[in-house]
Amino acid sequence: MNAYEPSRRVLVTGGAGFLGSHLCERLLADGHEVLCVDNFYTGRRANIAHLLDNPRFEVLRHDITFPLYVEVDQIYNLACPASPVHYQFDPVQTTKTSVHGAINMLGLAKRVKARIFQASTSEVYGDPHVHPQTEGYWGHVNPIGLRSCYDEGKRCAETLFMDYRRQHGVSIRVARIFNTYGPRMHPNDGRVVSNFIMQALTGQPITVYGDGHQTRAFCYVDDMVGAFVRFMDSDDDLCGPINLGNPQEMSMLAIARQVIELTGSQSGIEFRPLPSDDPVQRCPDISLARSALGWEPRVSLEEGLSRTIAYFAQRVGTNPPSYRPREAQPSMGRVRA
Ligand code: NAD
Ligand code: UDP
Ligand code: UDP
């Protein structure tokens, strides 16, 4: 925050989760007051424990599918389980969180005239037929499959955001977030980066689903949170949707090999069946983010993975990995929870 920018009261829903906890940390560092609202469905107190002593930080246990009456200047709506294992565990609740939660947070934004950011997702593109994905692509989504509670919930939330803007003049920011990883990911959430690192560190086989040729593009959490803040504070006509992610596309086999190399693990690779509706190829076109926000990711996969491996190694109490690139060292002090 520069000297001319006022401190704001910022609500972060899902603030005890992986991305939310990093965002709360960043907003506090920028001088704002932060109200973290979370029902601790997938979030953990440990993620925000280091923030509790800060007098500008407050936590409220609350489920956003119920109304919330608070006074704030900005809202980041991140509440929603993000890993397929978690969002498929109670799919009806997942849809309620995306849809009822969006209605409540938009109603709140409308009443208090707050700008509101929506954590949408690359899953709105489904199993895409356009590659890389641009914001103009409408997607290829199964409306009745196992992933639909998440994909369609997030699509409906985007509709609500656009309609609250058109109908009620609410100031919105809709970000389509592509796969993001880093410290404080839940070790058992089943996402690929956390799975592979935990397996490598504990000597278990690395579970590659399908033939491992499906692709994703992975963005390090600090880059992503930087984009959130930049987008939130951008000019009013830039409502999105906007793709945020790292356009370095990789196969799951390649990432398995990189995790094995960086951890120095003896684990082998084990192939497992591909989950249903698993997208074959995914990579963001971030031209809009580059031109409109002047943003692009800076942390390389090797550096980001090394920081994430250090975090998980500390959690499971293993020795630090035998190999770490030198440039990753100074940032390791940030890993606290
Ligand atoms: P996460 O599961 O770590 O965090 C989600 C948080 O929301 C948790 O703290 C959880 O307890 C909370 N929550 C869930 N339902 C809630 C409810 N009804 N009321 C209040 N709190 C609730 O996941 P994450 O990776 O931090 O994802 C954060 C947001 O970003 C999600 O909306 C997700 O869809 C979106 N996103 C994440 C990624 C990614 O790669 N991490 C990619 C695309 C989109
Ligand atoms: N809402 C909320 N906090 C507020 C204002 C509204 O949680 O500060 C909820 C409210 O419960 C409502 C929803 O947001 O169901 C949508 O509000 P809106 O004003 O758009 O619609 P209405 O109240 O007319 O249904
Ligand atoms: N995946 C895998 N092994 C695992 C977990 C996931 O091969 O142990 C694959 C999964 O099938 C998908 C990719 O990794 O193709 C990314 O999965 P993740 O659940 O992390 O994210 P999403 O599918 O939502 O992009």
Query: What is the distance in A from the centroid of ligand 3 to the CA of 34?
Result: 32
Average pLDDT of 117-131?
97
Query: What is the distance in A from the centroid of ligand 3 to the CA of 191?
Result: 6
Q: What is the mean pLDDT of the chain?
A: 93
- For residue 109, what pLDDT is reported? 98
220 is catalytic: no
Query: What is the distance in A from the centroid of ligand 2 to the CA of 261?
Result: 51
- For residue 68, what pLDDT is reported? 98
- For residue 334, what pLDDT is reported? 27
Q: What percent of the chain has pLDDT over 70?
A: 92
Cβ proximity of 71 and 9 under 8 Å: yes
Q: Give yes or no for residue 22 having a pLDDT over 90.
A: yes
- For residue 98, what pLDDT is reported? 98
96 CB-contact burial (10 Å; exposed 0-12 / middle 13-18 / buried 19+): middle
- For residue 54, what pLDDT is reported? 98
Cβ proximity of 217 and 284 under 8 Å: yes
pLDDT band at 281 (very low <50, low <70, confident <90, very high): very high
- For residue 243, what pLDDT is reported? 98
More confident residue, 111 or 7: 111
- For residue 323, what pLDDT is reported? 40
**CA-based nearest residue to 197, from 176, 218, 213:** 218
pLDDT band at 2 (very low <50, low <70, confident <90, very high): low
* Closest ligand 1 atom to Cα of 179: 40
- For residue 321, what pLDDT is reported? 52
More confident residue, 317 or 251: 251
Query: What is the distance in A from the centroid of ligand 3 to the CA of 192?
Result: 5
| Ligand in nearest proximity to the CA of 121 | 1
Instruction: Give the integer Cα–Cα distance in Å for 238 and 292.
Output: 8
Mutational test site, ligand 1, from 36, 39, 80, 150, max ligand atoms within 8 Å of CB? 80
Mutational test site, ligand 3, from 122, 191, 202, 281, max ligand atoms within 8 Å of CB? 191
Q: CA of 274: how far to CAs of 94, 192, 209, 256, 267, in Å?
A: 22, 13, 5, 15, 20
| Ligand in nearest proximity to the CA of 79 | 1
| Ligand in nearest proximity to the CA of 212 | 3
Ligand 2 close to Cβ of residue 315 (< 6 A): no
β-strand partners of 180? 219
Ligand 2 close to Cβ of residue 75 (< 6 A): no
Average pLDDT of 257-272?
97
Q: Note the pLDDT tens digit of each residue in 42-96.
A: 999 999 999 999 999 999 999 999 999 999 999 999 999 999 999 999 999 999 9
- For residue 70, what pLDDT is reported? 98
pLDDT band at 5 (very low <50, low <70, confident <90, very high): low
Of the residues 150, 181, 220, 311, which is catalytic?
150
Q: Give yes or no for residue 331 having a pLDDT over 90.
A: no
Ligand 2 close to Cβ of residue 110 (< 6 A): yes
Instruction: Give the integer Cα–Cα distance in Å for 135 and 244.
Output: 10
Q: Note the pLDDT tens digit of each residue in 212-264.
A: 999 999 999 999 999 999 999 998 789 999 999 999 999 999 999 999 999 99
Measured from the Cβ of residue 81, the count of other Cβ atoms closer than 10 Å reads: 23
Q: Give yes or no for residue 197 having a pLDDT over 80.
A: yes
Q: Give the domains, in start order, of the chain with CATH numbers.
A: 9-182+219-246+283-297 (3.40.50.720)
Ligand 1 close to Cβ of residue 95 (< 6 A): no
- For residue 329, what pLDDT is reported? 35
Mutational test site, ligand 1, from 25, 35, 42, max ligand atoms within 8 Å of CB? 42
Instruction: Give the integer Cα–Cα distance in Å for 193 and 46.
Output: 20
Average pLDDT of 23-45?
98
Instruction: Give the integer Cα–Cα distance in Å for 45 and 69.
Output: 23
Ligand 1 close to Cβ of residue 18 (< 6 A): yes
